[in-house]
């Protein structure tokens, strides 16, 4: 008997990929990340910040940014999620809190996407509770919503996307497709 490691949703994911609309190419995303690095450096070069990665989506963005930030910094991460492998969110579930001491420190939260802002707002609140002096936010993508958001805008934003479900560069579709080379929108039903 052969055991297959194939994802049972392989065919569905193949269809999602083939029908997706490419919003930004890999080179366009890389250019946006380069610009983010310049802007972040200009703001934080003398502030010895903690870069706080919001897992799992921001791991790609943080990894891309790190070698472009030529100043002293420390890295930590949190895992606070609403989606848990689904395409819509629920209440915030904390899987990991930050470990570095934030009192009296500047913190830059790095996330993949600003959607309704529930997760990033919860992490900002946690940093405030831990007495961070200044809290900055960075997102690769700002989704343009026509409704109220809990967190209105990031301090540093790479790109904007329409109010559609997007994947690539850390953003997922049901836990998959984070490694897509560009940013794509799922075909609307």
CB 165 within 8 A of CB 185: yes
Sign of the CA dihedral 143, 91, 137, 26?
negative
Q: Is 115 a catalytic residue?
A: yes
Measure Cα distances from 148 to 84, 110, 116, 144, 145 in Å. 23, 22, 7, 11, 8
* Selected catalytic residue, list 111, 112, 115, 172: 115
Looking at 87-174, which runs of residues are DSSP E strands?
93-96, 106-114, 134-143, 156-161, 166-167
Q: Which residues are catalytic?
A: 115
């Amino acid at each position: 008997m052969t055991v297959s490691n194939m994802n049972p949703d392989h065919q569905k994911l193949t269809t999602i990929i083939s029908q997706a609309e490419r919003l930004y190419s890999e080179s366009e995303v890389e250019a946006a990340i380069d610009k983010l690095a310049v802007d972040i450096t200009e703001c934080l070069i003398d502030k010895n910040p903690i870069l706080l990665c919001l897992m799992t989506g921001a791991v790609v963005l943080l990894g891309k940014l790190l070698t472009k930030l030529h100043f002293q910094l420390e890295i930590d991460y949190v895992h606070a999620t609403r989606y848990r492998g689904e395409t819509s969110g629920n209440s915030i579930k904390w899987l990991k809190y930050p470990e570095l001491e934030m009192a009296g420190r500047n913190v830059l939260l790095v996330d993949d996407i600003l959607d309704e802002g529930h997760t990033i707002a919860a992490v900002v609140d946690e940093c405030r509770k831990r007495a961070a002096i200044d809290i900055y936010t960075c997102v690769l993508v700002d989704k343009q919503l026509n409704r109220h958001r809990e967190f209105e805008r990031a301090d540093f934003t790479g790109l904007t996307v329409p109010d559609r479900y997007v994947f690539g560069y850390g953003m997922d579709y049901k836990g998959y497709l984070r490694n897509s080379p560009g940013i794509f929108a799922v075909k609307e039903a």
